[in-house]
Amino acid sequence: MRLWDSATTRVNDAILAFTVGDDPERDLALLPYDCLASAAHADMLHGIGLLSDKDRSDLFGALGEAYQLARAGKLPIATEQEDGHTALEAFLTEKVGEAGRKIHTGRSRNDQVIAALRLYARDALLEIADASVALASVLIDRGREHAATLMPGYTHTRQAMPSTVGQLLFATGEGLIRDIDALILALGHANRSVLGSASGYGVPLPLDRQRVSDSLGHLELDLNSVFVQNSRGRFEGVVLFALHQISMTLSRLASDLILFSSEQFGFFELPVDLTTGSSIMPQKRNPDVLELVRAVPASLLGRYAEVTGLLQGLGAGYHRDLQRTKAPLMDGLEDSRNVLAVMQLAVERLGVNKEACAAALGDGIYQTDAVYAHVRGGEAFREAYRKVKESPQARIDHDELLRTRVHEGVPGTDQSEPLRRGLERIQEGLAPHRARPVSLGKA
């Protein structure tokens, strides 16, 4: 039964199914967070005298039970109920009667859904941030291991100047650190309280919104009740932007690993169990995993376009259009978790063929170093350039290539220390978001 139905206003079944969409499945993931938010809300209602001690403890008991069931995926949502919020209210009312009928005091499904989405996203973003830190960390370790493993550096996919395997890995680690900055920005949006804004216009009751915010471990309130509704879609956009950045960093590395592990290059080797076979060509071991990683930014960009595109033309406040921001957000978070997990394996277990890397340096790649040997001897750069252009010079000893590269961030240097400091700063940025909300029952 819908909360808003009556004997004279029964909705057509096809309209109900269409408007409900995939909410009953999607809301399963939000239900545990809806329980946490509902507990904070109930506690506040008790604090301002709208729930009795018994109401509060009845609700906390029933919410604890609902939380456990929801986490185990055992709190079903019927199409008839439309969404998880109605399913939860029905559950509470069945368990504790009167107190269940009071839980919706001072709220609307419009703020209830955002409250749950923010808590859900906060957890997911922290998980993704931790996975990104772990991946950055292994990139730094492996970068250090191969700081002096020479390989060609490319521009335009043509040999340019000497580089190292470490340089490629450090570059990806540094990219991830910048990406985690974007995740922290998204966490800042997730970690703000919305309850009490109700349908977008508050309620004529002295609600204590700050108390709810504090119970949920949020950093601040989103103040204006209409803005809370306007934040929907925009918030999802900020999250998907950050996820898209991560995916592009990983896509770029995946693309290089695909190329450089091919037969013609042979610089890298993916362990057999990370590759997949062919149904027709017996010899094949394919880097499908990396190809799928390479493809993920397109999906995330699509989802970003979807959530921000939905907002076009919308006036202030809630519109049902906003329901369709849920799937792209959830799928984007899921894709990101998966991509980080497989790249962690790929980087940890990547084989490096040092001999093949060094042997690939062609005659041309030494020429800029030859120019700089003259420059170090006091010649003007342009003179030295012309001289080497007219008569290309001999290859340079590899130890010398490494010895002469000394400035910050250049191939051959160990960049692990400054990058590790970057990761420490990341942890400081994440710390305020790790506060746990009121916990219900045994987690």
Q: How far is the CB of 326 from ligand ARG (least distance, A)?
A: 6
- Closest residue by Cα to residue 102 from 114, 110, 92: 92
- In the complex with ligand ARG, the residue whose CB is nearer, 308 or 413, is 308
Establish if 83 lies at the interface with ligand ARG (CB under 6 A).
Answer: yes
Taking a C-beta distance cutoff of 8 angstroms, is the pair 48, 83 a contact? Answer: no
Establish if 236 lies at the interface with ligand ARG (CB under 6 A).
Answer: no
- In the complex with ligand ARG, the residue whose CB is nearer, 323 or 413, is 323
| 324 phi and psi angles, rounded to 5 deg | -80, 5
Establish if 322 lies at the interface with ligand ARG (CB under 6 A).
Answer: yes
The residues near 336 (Cβ < 8 Å, ≥ 6 apart) are 128, 243, 246, 247, 296, 300
Establish if 109 lies at the interface with ligand ARG (CB under 6 A).
Answer: yes
Establish if 110 lies at the interface with ligand ARG (CB under 6 A).
Answer: yes
Establish if 58 lies at the interface with ligand ARG (CB under 6 A).
Answer: no
Cα of 213 vs its chain's centroid, Å: 23
What single letter denotes the amino acid at residue 168?
L
Q: If you count them, how many residues does the chain have?
A: 443
Q: How far is the CB of 202 from ligand ARG (least distance, A)?
A: 16
Number of residues that bind ligand ARG (CB under 6 A): 9
- In the complex with ligand ARG, the residue whose CB is nearer, 87 or 212, is 87
Name the closest residue to ligand ARG (Cβ): 323
- Closest residue by Cα to residue 395 from 168, 148, 152, 158: 152
Establish if 107 lies at the interface with ligand ARG (CB under 6 A).
Answer: no
Q: How far is the CB of 322 from ligand ARG (least distance, A)?
A: 5
Extract the tokens encoding 79: 């199409």
Round to whole Å and give the CA distance between 43 and 49.
10
Taking a C-beta distance cutoff of 8 angstroms, is the pair 266, 258 a contact? Answer: no
Q: Which of 323, 336, 413, 415 is the binder for ligand ARG (CB under 6 A)?
A: 323
Q: How far is the CB of 15 from ligand ARG (least distance, A)?
A: 13
Q: Which of 62, 88, 99, 113 is the binder for ligand ARG (CB under 6 A)?
A: 113
Piece of 145-153, 179-187, 317-325, 385-393 that binds ligand ARG (CB under 6 A): 317-325
Q: How far is the CB of 20 from ligand ARG (least distance, A)?
A: 8
Round to whole Å and give the CA distance between 281 and 290.
20
Establish if 104 lies at the interface with ligand ARG (CB under 6 A).
Answer: no
* Farthest CA pair distance, the chain: 94
**3-state SS, residue 379:** coil
Piece of 67-75, 185-193, 277-285, 319-327 that binds ligand ARG (CB under 6 A): 319-327
Residue ranges in 147-206 that form contacts with ligand ARG under rule CB under 6 A: none
Q: How far is the CB of 26 from ligand ARG (least distance, A)?
A: 8
Q: What is the 3-state secondary structure (H, E, C) of 258-282?
A: HHHCCCCCCCEECCHHHCECCCCCC
Q: How far is the CB of 19 from ligand ARG (least distance, A)?
A: 8
Extract the tokens encoding 69: 């069931």
Q: How far is the CB of 199 from ligand ARG (least distance, A)?
A: 7
First-last CA distance in the chain: 30
Q: How far is the CB of 304 from ligand ARG (least distance, A)?
A: 19
Q: By rule CB under 6 A, what string of x and - marks binding of each residue 277-316 to ligand ARG?
A: ----------------------------------------
Q: How far is CA 28 from CA 59, 70, 103, 299, in A?
A: 20, 7, 20, 23
- In the complex with ligand ARG, the residue whose CB is nearer, 9 or 155, is 9
**Half-sphere exposure of residue 46: CA atoms within 13 angstroms, side-chain side:** 16
- In the complex with ligand ARG, the residue whose CB is nearer, 85 or 146, is 85
Using the structure block, give the residue that is written with the tokens 């076979």: 277
Taking a C-beta distance cutoff of 8 angstroms, is the pair 125, 332 a contact? Answer: no
Round to whole Å and give the CA distance between 112 and 373.
67
Establish if 118 lies at the interface with ligand ARG (CB under 6 A).
Answer: no
Q: How far is the CB of 228 from ligand ARG (least distance, A)?
A: 13
Residue ranges in 12-41 that form contacts with ligand ARG under rule CB under 6 A: 23
Q: How far is the CB of 27 from ligand ARG (least distance, A)?
A: 7
Establish if 249 lies at the interface with ligand ARG (CB under 6 A).
Answer: no
Round to whole Å and give the CA distance between 99 and 430.
37
Task: Quickly count: other Cβ atoms within 10 Å of residue 16's Cβ.
Answer: 15
- In the complex with ligand ARG, the residue whose CB is nearer, 84 or 422, is 84
Taking a C-beta distance cutoff of 8 angstroms, is the pair 249, 139 a contact? Answer: no
Positions in the binding site for ligand ARG (CB under 6 A): 23, 83, 109-110, 113, 320, 322-323, 326
